[in-house]
């Protein structure tokens, strides 16, 4: 009996310890959350500033039918933001599409005190990591006034907080994927963003205008699972796609048989008429 009670007592003590520890979490951390707002549109008229100090509108990067992958970070972040941006750089590097032409990659600082010079420094380093050094159109690094940051983060459901004791921001680790019209189509969580995940998410956000026919077929076979927050193989999509291909092949074969039979019957008619 004592052997049974000991693990139960240890578990109870652990849970009690966690319950006591939770209120001791920094207030900033307790405010961090993500309220997913899929299908809603972000405000595109918000003023922002690019890494070269030019004043722009957020909507300037939602053009020509290009989907957008967006990272909300801050440039003097000691750890997490670097992991997010490094993971994004590695994923983007594997994409077969031209950034700035077929899709847009944007990082925007949630710190209103950060400057274009800080954005430019980060842009230089991550363009190198992406394999596109000097290509300033490949990945935009933006700063913005407080009102723009608040308007965008509220629209995205991105809740973060400033911790004055550490002079840092507490925030979640994720990317946002948006349609060319600014509609939120996907939240991608983590610090690693594989090429296939980005490819499927951008194809989905691009509404069929980005990617090849093979990419769109792949999207029917891979379904985003909210539970795992990843794209996974979807057997029903595979069966539906496979069934459509089989039906198409059968229709093609039947059409060819009918055509050959039709030509053969016309040949017999001409031969009979000559005789």
Q: Domains of the chain by range and CATH?
A: 27-211 (3.40.30.10)
Judge whether residue 182 has pLDDT over 90. Answer: yes
Judge whether residue 243 has pLDDT over 80. Answer: no
Helices (H), the chain: 2-21, 27-30, 80-93, 116-130, 146-156, 195-205, 213-221, 235-274
Better pLDDT: 230 or 61? 61
Angle between helices 213-221 and 195-205 (to 10 degrees): 100
What does pLDDT average to over the chain? 80
Per DSSP, the three-state class of 275 is coil
Token couple for 3: 């052997």
Judge whether residue 244 has pLDDT over 90. Answer: no
Instruction: Express each pLDDT in 102-111 by its tens digit.
Output: 999 999 999 9
Burial classification of residue 220, based on how many CB atoms lie within 10 Å of its CB (0-12 exposed, 13-18 middle, 19 or more buried): middle
pLDDT of residue 247: 43
Q: How many CA atoms lie within 13 Å of 166's alpha carbon, on the beta-carbon side?
A: 14
What is the pLDDT averaged over residues 49-75? 96
pLDDT of residue 251: 52
d(CA 80, CA 61): 25
Least confident interval from 66-80, 103-117, 134-148, 236-250: 236-250
Helices (H), 56-114: 80-93
Judge whether residue 80 has pLDDT over 50. Answer: yes
Better pLDDT: 230 or 196? 196
Judge whether residue 190 has pLDDT over 80. Answer: yes
Burial classification of residue 251, based on how many CB atoms lie within 10 Å of its CB (0-12 exposed, 13-18 middle, 19 or more buried): exposed
Judge whether residue 4 has pLDDT over 60. Answer: no
Judge whether residue 156 has pLDDT over 90. Answer: yes
CB 48 within 8 A of CB 144: yes
What is the pLDDT averaged over residues 11-25? 46
pLDDT of residue 94: 94
Helices (H), 22-115: 27-30, 80-93
Band (pLDDT 50/70/90 cuts) for residue 207 is confident
User: With a threshold of 0.85, does the pTM exceed it?
Assistant: no
Q: Residue count of the chain, please give it.
A: 275
What is the pLDDT averaged over residues 182-207? 92
DSSP assigned state of 42: -
CA distances from 81 to 26, 49, 53, 122, 172 (A): 19, 19, 22, 11, 10
CB within 8 Å of 212: residues ≥ 6 apart: none
Least confident interval from 20-24, 34-38, 53-57, 66-70: 20-24
pLDDT of residue 184: 97
Band (pLDDT 50/70/90 cuts) for residue 169 is very high
d(CA 50, CA 57): 10
According to DSSP, the β-strands at 222-225 and 33-34 are unpaired
What is the pLDDT averaged over residues 219-227? 55
């Amino acid at each position: 009996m004592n052997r049974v009670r000991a693990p139960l007592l240890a578990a109870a003590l652990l849970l009690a310890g966690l319950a006591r520890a939770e209120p001791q979490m920094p207030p900033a951390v307790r405010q961090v959350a993500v309220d997913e707002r899929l299908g809603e549109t972000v405000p595109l008229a918000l003023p922002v500033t690019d890494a070269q100090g030019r004043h722009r509108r957020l909507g300037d990067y939602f053009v020509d039918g290009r989907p957008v992958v967006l990272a909300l970070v801050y440039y003097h972040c000691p750890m997490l933001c670097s992991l997010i941006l490094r993971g994004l750089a590695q994923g983007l590097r594997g994409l077969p599409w031209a950034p700035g032409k077929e899709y847009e990659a944007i990082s925007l600082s949630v710190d209103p005190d950060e400057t274009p010079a800080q954005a430019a420094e980060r842009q230089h380093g991550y363009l190198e990591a992406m394999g596109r050094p000097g290509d300033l159109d490949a990945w935009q690094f933006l700063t913005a006034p407080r009102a723009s940051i608040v308007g965008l983060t509220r629209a995205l459901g991105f809740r973060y907080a400033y911790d004055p004791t550490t002079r840092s921001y507490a925030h979640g680790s994720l990317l946002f994927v948006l349609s060319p019209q600014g509609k939120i189509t996907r939240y991608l969580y983590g610090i690693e963003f594989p090429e296939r995940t980005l490819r499927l998410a951008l194809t989905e956000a691009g509404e069929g205008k980005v990617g090849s026919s093979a990419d769109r077929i792949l999207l029917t076979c891979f379904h985003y699972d909210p539970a795992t927050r990843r794209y996974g193989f979807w057997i029903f999509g595979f069966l539906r796609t496979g069934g459509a291909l089989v039906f198409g092949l059968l229709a093609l074969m039947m059409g060819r048989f009918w055509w050959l039979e039709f030509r053969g019957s016309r040949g017999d008619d001409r031969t009979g008429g000559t005789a």
